[in-house]
Amino acid sequence: MKDPIHSLYETQVYPAMSHPLSDPAVSAVAALLGGLETPAPARARILEIGCCSGHNLIPLAMRWPESECIGIDLAETSVREATVRATAAGVTNVVFQAAGLRDYKPEGGAGFDFIIAHGFFSWVPDEVKEVLLAFCRENLSHSGIATISFNLECGWAARFPVIRKVKAIQQARGGDLIQALEILRFVTEPDSPEVAIIDDMLAKGPAILAFDDFGPVNDPWPLDRFVRAASNAGLRWIGETDPAENIPSILSDELVEHLAETIPEPFAFQLAADAAAGRTFRSGVLCRADAPLMTQIRSDVMLDFSVRAGKEPAGESAMEIWRAIRSCAPACVAMREVMVKLPEWDPPELANLVCNGITNGWILPRIESLGFESQPATFPRLNAFRMLCAREGLPLVDAWHKPCLFPEKHYAVLAAMDGSRSRTELAAFSQNHCPELAFEPWLRHLAARGMFA
Ligand SMILES: C[S@@+](CC[C@H](N)C(=O)[O-])C[C@H]1O[C@@H](n2cnc3c(N)ncnc32)[C@H](O)[C@@H]1O
């Protein structure tokens, strides 16, 4: 008999999604900041556990044709879909396999340089969590990393009373989740903090809620429990995938300063910051406990990253560097190339500020550069996977691995971008199919997101 998780994912479609935080070009930076130099993603062995219909893994395999990508998932239907899409898009360096993690035995003993488990840990029973961590220990290459996302107890705690009430209402009167939520909304005091939670659940809608708040397993953990479990399995927690989110960026500088003064021990400070922010989600980077970590990180490592501009920083020096980086937008360029535009800067001083930029989110680092034509071509053409997504109404994954879902009517215009129509012809096509769409600015926006790369 299939377990409830298997049945759910076999009978309901989980929305196709890509996850920028699972991108090895991003997680490799977090590893290096923690002292571990991973193999280059472009020639790596990459495994995604719980890969669903392949929306996250196929674009990575396409980006790095010399990598070897494997996706596994319990749900046969999703794996079939993933295989069909990869084949249709002509991607030959990815394979998908229907397998539960407990029974999965990877072929070849080389180990994986990147293991991705996104949206997995919090949605499986404890024994599978344990299997996942043990699997990573056994199957990571020596300098490999695992990126494992999980939900945080401190942010989710307030949602559970609402979940319990909705379930009780459903049990008492039957009907669906949304009806039960609407009843709860009606009887809840307008000034109760639960109103915002109920509204958030209503906004998610039934298709997401069935997997999310009301999934068969929904088990958020505190960070310290996650780190301990990883350590018991022979893994080391390196930190958050996004270095700007080790401390939640929504907290004000004053509050962070106050917390840091009150709680000097760094890990306890992190736990307190999560609690203060009501944080709901983390994405951790882990390596083997015996991985060859550098004991001292050279400060000029910062200058080896590729960078693009994040949010605008405060302070004149930061602004000068940020502007130099932004002048290369939308590309992500080697910091050493940007340095040419900053000749008065002393490298160690610059490295310090780049470090500040990375940890505060005004510099977005990657382990490798990424450049593309940011203006639309005369005959705009989506690549084979994006074209497939355009035809099927799925999110298109941009150059930064971000998914972009469009209003239904725009998909016809996207699907016409197969390189056979000029911009003028596409503009006329768009005018016919969705006259409300401001075609030219939209096309430029798509190009700036690297959709034609
Ligand atoms: C919440 S979905 C996440 C999908 C995708 N990783 C994402 O984040 O968009 C969880 C996925 O894990 C798969 N799954 C659950 N338990 C599993 C197991 N024991 N072994 C392999 N896959 C499993 C499910 O079939 C489902 O596709």
**30, 244 Cβ separation under 8 angstroms:** no
Helix-helix angle 194-209:177-187, to 10 degrees: 170
Give the span between the Cα atoms of 57 and 95, in whole angstroms: 10
Q: Residues 5-26: pLDDT tens digits?
A: 888 888 888 999 999 999 999 9
Q: Residues 339-387: pLDDT tens digits?
A: 999 999 999 999 999 999 999 999 999 999 999 988 999 999 999 999 9
What pLDDT is recorded for position 3? 85
Closest ligand 1 atom to Cα of 117: 6
Whole-Å CA distances, 349 to 303, 318, 432: 11, 11, 56
Whole-Å CA distances, 294 to 139, 147, 354: 21, 20, 20
Phi-psi sector, 324: left (phi>0), alpha (psi -120 to 50), beta: alpha
The helix/strand/coil state of 295 is coil
Q: Residues 125-183: pLDDT tens digits?
A: 999 999 999 999 999 999 999 999 999 999 999 999 999 999 999 999 998 999 999 99
Burial of 102 (0-12, 13-18, 19+ CB in 10 A): exposed
pLDDT at 82 over 80: yes
Q: Which of 18, 26, 116 is nearest to 70 (CA)?
A: 116
**Residue whose CA lies nearest to ligand 1 atom number 11:** 50
Give the span between the Cα atoms of 433 and 413, in whole angstroms: 7
- Residue 429: enclosing H or E segment and its boundaries? helix 423-433
Listing from the earlier edge strand, what are the strands of the sheet with 333-334?
A: 333-334, 306-309, 363-366
Closest ligand 1 atom to Cα of 101: 20
Ligand 1 mutation pick, 14, 23, 402, max ligand atoms within 8 A of CB: 14
Closest ligand 1 atom to Cα of 16: 9
DSSP symbol at 436: T
Q: Residues 235-258: pLDDT tens digits?
A: 999 999 999 999 999 999 999 999
Q: Which of 70, 67, 47, 34 is nearest to 139 (CA)?
A: 47
DSSP string, 193-252: THHHHHHHHHHHHHHHHTTTTTSS----B-HHHHHHHHHHTTEEEEEESSGGGSS-TTS-
Closest ligand 1 atom to Cα of 212: 1
Q: Where does the pLDDT of residue 1 fall: very low under 50, low under 70, confident under 90, or very high at 90 and above?
A: low
**376, 341 Cβ separation under 8 angstroms:** no
User: For residue 175, how many other CB atoms are within 10 A of its CB?
Assistant: 12
Q: Is the CB–ligand 1 distance for residue 303 below 6 Å?
A: no
What pLDDT is recorded for position 109? 75
Q: Is the CB–ligand 1 distance for residue 71 below 6 Å?
A: no
What is the identity of the amino acid at 154? C
Can you give the length of the chain in residues? 453
Q: Separation of 32 CA from ligand 1 center, angstroms?
A: 28
Ligand 1 mutation pick, 3, 18, 74, max ligand atoms within 8 A of CB: 74
Closest ligand 1 atom to Cα of 8: 25
Whole-Å CA distances, 199 to 157, 190, 229: 17, 12, 34
Q: Separation of 6 CA from ligand 1 center, angstroms?
A: 9
Q: Is the CB–ligand 1 distance for residue 55 below 6 Å?
A: no
Q: Separation of 416 CA from ligand 1 center, angstroms?
A: 33
What is the identity of the amino acid at 139? N
Residue 129 contacts by C-beta under 8 Å, 6 or more apart in sequence?
A: 121, 229
Quote the mean pLDDT of the chain. Answer: 96
Ligand 1 mutation pick, 11, 52, 209, 214, max ligand atoms within 8 A of CB: 52
Closest ligand 1 atom to Cα of 211: 1
The whole-angstrom distance between residue 14's C-alpha and the CA centroid of its chain comes to 16
What pLDDT is recorded for position 84? 98
Closest ligand 1 atom to Cα of 128: 19
Closest ligand 1 atom to Cα of 6: 25
Q: Which of 216, 209, 225 is nearest to 159 (CA)?
A: 209
Identify the CATH homologous superfamily for domain 4-153+220-288: Vaccinia Virus protein VP39 (3.40.50.150)
What pLDDT is recorded for position 411? 97
Alpha helices in 237-346 (DSSP H): 253-262, 266-277, 316-326, 335-339
CA pseudo-torsion sign 353, 358, 364, 370 = positive
User: For residue 11, how many other CB atoms are within 10 A of its CB?
Assistant: 11
Residue 38 contacts by C-beta under 8 Å, 6 or more apart in sequence?
A: 24, 28, 31, 32, 44, 113, 114, 143, 144, 145, 367
Q: Separation of 380 CA from ligand 1 center, angstroms?
A: 35
pLDDT at 66 over 90: yes
Q: Which of 44, 21, 246 is nearest to 144 (CA)?
A: 44
What is the identity of the amino acid at 332? C
Whole-Å CA distances, 188 to 152, 173, 196, 278: 25, 18, 11, 22
DSSP symbol at 405: -
Q: Is the CB–ligand 1 distance for residue 100 below 6 Å?
A: yes
Closest ligand 1 atom to Cα of 22: 8
Q: Is the CB–ligand 1 distance for residue 96 below 6 Å?
A: no
Q: Where does the pLDDT of residue 268 fall: very low under 50, low under 70, confident under 90, or very high at 90 and above?
A: very high
More confident residue, 207 or 378: 378
Q: Is the CB–ligand 1 distance for residue 73 below 6 Å?
A: yes
Q: Separation of 217 CA from ligand 1 center, angstroms?
A: 12
Query: Beta strand 281-288 with 235-240: parallel, antiparallel or unpaired?
Result: antiparallel
Q: Which of 283, 452, 275 is nearest to 374 (CA)?
A: 452
- What average pLDDT score do residues 74-87 get? 97
Q: Residues 91-106: pLDDT tens digits?
A: 999 999 999 999 999 9
Six token digits for residue 196? 């915002």
Q: Is the CB–ligand 1 distance for residue 151 below 6 Å?
A: no
Q: Separation of 116 CA from ligand 1 center, angstroms?
A: 11
Listing from the earlier edge strand, what are the strands of the sheet with 112-117?
A: 94-98, 68-73, 45-49, 112-117, 140-151, 281-288, 235-240
